[in-house]
Structures are given as structure tokens and as C-alpha cells.
Amino acid sequence: MGEEPLVRWDWIGRNLPVLRELLVDNAVMALVPVLAGLLLALPLGLAGVRWRRLYQPTVGVMNVVYSLPSLAVFIVLIPITGLATRLTVMVPLTFYAMAVLVPAVVDGLAAVPDHVRQSAVAMGFTPLRRLLQVELPIAVPVVLAGLRVATVSSVSLVSVGALVGRGGLGYLFIDGWQRQFPTPIIVGIVLIVLLAGIADLLLVGAQRLLTPWAGSRTRGRA
């Protein structure tokens, strides 16, 4: 008998429904925390810009959270959120996303030139209208840069949840390791990389839609 091939294509063909289910599960558990983290980071970042004394303590707490080992946090949450549930994985990932996004929101809003704010005030913009129509659009490139980092990290970190019974594509790593069968491991790696790459490309596309003037400025310089 010949040696076992590195990739068994027949195994992939037989398990396409399972792979599709794991891919969707991985995407949901990765992207929902990023969106939740963004919704929470926006008011925290705005508060950090308005009241600078709040910024350093907030970032300090976020850095401590980000430094916590994900597996340890998953295990601590099991008595609260249950074993092998999406919440056990998504709650820590939400805080990890916030740790990246809060500084990105602050840096993006802080990059808005003062004369632009003053011009908006002179035109009669209310604080909310100035935020939505002036400050946030200018901050979009910096915020989306942080969002891209948070998204790619989240897609990858979901797989660690397989050690507590819910890790999306991470299940393939455990399955392949336990059976000393490399095909699931390779397929899991490829699918995670593809998922992260597609999510990143979508965010790049969103940035181009939200900041059309950036592309025009680049073409003008060329």
C-alpha cells in the first residue's frame, strides 16, 4: 500500500455539508462579536476624545483584557454561558475586538482637523450632526483599519473555542489531530484563511464606498 496522501479529496467531497456548516458557524461567531465590539467602541471612543482623562484608563483595561489567554477566558465563562455554546466564544471575542477598536475610534476622531470642526460649528451643525456628517466620515479610514485587524483576529481566534466544544472550523484541527489525519487540518487552515481574506476584502470595499474622495485624491496625484 502507498503512503497516505497529504490531502484526501474524496474525504472533502463526502464532507462538504459538514464543512459548510462549520464555515457558517465560524463566520457567525467571528463577525457578530466584531460588530458588537464596534457598537460598544464607538461611544467609548467618543467619550475618550471628549474627556481625555477617560482614555488612558479605558485603553488600560482593554489592554489587560486583550492580554488574557482566550482559552482561559472560555473556561471561566463555561459555568455562566454553558459548555459548547456560541456565547462562551463570542463574549470574549467581543472584548478582544473592543480592545482593538476603542483606540482606533479615538485615533480616527482625534485626526479630524480643528478647522474642519470649527467650520461645521460656524455652519450651524449640531454636535450630533457634526459627528455623523463630518467627524465620523473623516475617521472612517482609521476605524476601518482597526476593524480589519479585529475581524481577521476574530476569525482565527474562534478556532480556539473547539477546545471547549464550540470552535467552528477549529473542530477540524482536533479531529485531524486525534485521528492523525492531516486532511481536516489542512482544510480548516485553508477555510479560515479564505474566510479572513474575504472579510478583509469586503471591509476594503466598504472603505472605498464610504470614502470615495480618497480614491479621487489618489488618482489626482497620479
DSSP the chain: -PPPPSS-HHHHHHTHHHHHHHHHHHHHHHHHHHHHHHHHHHHHHHHHHHSHHHHHHHHHHHHHHHHS-HHHHHHHHHHHH-TT-HHHHHHHHHHHHHHHHHHHHHHHHHTS-HHHHHHHHHTT--HHHHIIIIIHHHHHHHHHHHHHHHHHHHHHHGGGGGGGT--TTHHHHHHHHHTT-HHHHHHHHHHHHHHHHHHHHHHHHHHHHH-HHHHHHHHHH-
Q: What is the pLDDT of residue 214?
A: 61
- Give every CB contact of residue 4 below 8 A, 6+ residues apart in sequence: 182
pLDDT higher than threshold 80 for residue 157: yes
pLDDT higher than threshold 60 for residue 172: yes
Q: What is the pLDDT of residue 215?
A: 56
Full set of structural domains in the chain with CATH? 9-212 (1.10.3720.10)
Average pLDDT over residues 175-197: 94
Average pLDDT over residues 208-216: 72
- Give every CB contact of residue 92 below 8 A, 6+ residues apart in sequence: 68, 70, 73, 74, 77
CB burial class (10 A; 0-12, 13-18, 19+) of residue 172? buried
pLDDT higher than threshold 50 for residue 1: no
Tell me the three cell numbers of residue 211: 470614502
pLDDT higher than threshold 90 for residue 115: no
pLDDT higher than threshold 90 for residue 122: no
Please name the amino acid found at residue 172: L
Task: Specify the long-range contacts of residues 111-117, CB closer than 8 Å, at least 24 apart.
Answer: 111/138, 111/139, 111/142, 112/138, 112/139
Average pLDDT over residues 22-32: 96
**15-24 pLDDT, tens digit each:** 999 999 999 9
Q: What is the C-alpha to C-alpha distance for residues 127 and 138, in angstroms, rounded to an integer?
A: 15
Q: What is the C-alpha to C-alpha distance for residues 191 and 187, in angstroms, rounded to an integer?
A: 6
Closest CA to 107 of 70, 83, 67, 142: 142
Q: What is the C-alpha to C-alpha distance for residues 114 and 102, in angstroms, rounded to an integer?
A: 21
Q: What is the pLDDT of residue 222?
A: 46
**32-90 pLDDT, tens digit each:** 999 999 999 999 988 888 888 888 888 888 888 888 888 889 888 889 988 888 999 99
Mean pLDDT for the chain overall: 88
